[in-house]
Amino acid sequence: MIYPHFALELEELTVSFDGFKAVNGVTLYVSKDELRVIIGPNGAGKTTLLDLICGRTKPTDGKITFMDKTLTRLPEQEIVRAGVVRKFQTPSIYPKLTVFENLEISHPKGRTAFGAIFFRRTSDVVDRIHEVAKEIYLADLLETEAEKLSHGQKQWLEIGMLLMADPQLLLLDEPVAGMSVREREQTAELLRRICKGRSAVVIEHDMKFVRRIADKVTVMHQGKVLAEGPMDDIEKDPRVVEVYLGH
């Protein structure tokens, strides 16, 4: 039997907050080049699942493997250095720095204190910043303070910050929340473009958006995986309609 090679493997992942299992025995495999979307009602444990993968929360049980590397007990910055990056549900950018500086900080060069003190803004760094800025529709706003951006632009900036490190796996928590219809379309396009050659796990509520981007959908409910498969099958699944889509 031939086993397909997965990029991200979650096995029996469980976390318990004082006895409450926010994520309960989740097993999930994401292939290289796959864009997986996780849907589910509020409180299903979607955000917590991403927290576990990126190391913000440590699992009580189970195993996380990425590209044959065990991430389960690694400190956050080591997980990032292994190629796994995370976008938060509320845009997390540096409000007092310019778009340029936001992207520059996210460049992997000069990641230690001394490295940062002696960091030089070389042409390859500047080129990369311009490249990413163009990708996220912010090329004309490089000198703008990040706090002055619109909500949607802040979401893009954070995605751009992730791209600076040329990651292998993107974890995106509700990337189009609060965006206009036009911005949603641009974001869907952006995601399709940047996820080539990478894996991504995206949490989203907007079904239209999910249909546009997802390769495969996982439905979570009460900390467990309820269903998994292509969007067309998921939409017909009576259990999914019952707990989620029916609303």
Give the C-alpha separation, 244 to 247, whole Å.
Answer: 6
Applying CB under 8 A, the span of 84-92, 137-145, 202-210, 212-220 interacting with other proteins comes to 84-92
Which tokens belong to 132?
């990413």
- Of 91, 120, 82, nearest in space to 104 by CA: 120
Instruction: Decide: is 218 part of the binding site for Mg ion (CB under 5 A).
Output: no
Chosen from other proteins, ligand ADP, Mg ion, none, partner binding at 44 (C-beta under 5 to 8 Å by type):
ligand ADP
Q: Tell me the β-bridge partners of 30.
A: 8
What residue 184 binds from ligand ADP, Mg ion, other proteins, none (CB within 5 to 8 A, per partner kind)? none
**Helices vs. strands in the chain: H and E counts, helices first:** 10, 10
Residues between 98 and 157 that touch ligand ADP (CB under 6 A)? none
Torsion of CA 88, 152, 143, 108, to 10 degrees: 30
- Say which entry of Mg ion, other proteins, ligand ADP, none residue 45 contacts (CB below 5 to 8 A, set by partner kind): ligand ADP
Task: Give CA–CA dist 91/214, Å, rounded.
Answer: 22
Binding mask 44-83 for Mg ion (x = CB under 5 A): ---x------------------------------------
Helix (H, G, I), strand (E, B) or coil at 14: strand
Phi, psi for residue 46 in degrees, rounded to 5: -65, -50
Residues 151-180 that bind other proteins (CB under 8 A): 158, 161, 165
Interface positions with other proteins (CB under 8 A): 54, 56, 75-77, 80-81, 85-86, 88, 92-97, 101, 104-106, 108, 110-114, 116-119, 158, 161, 165
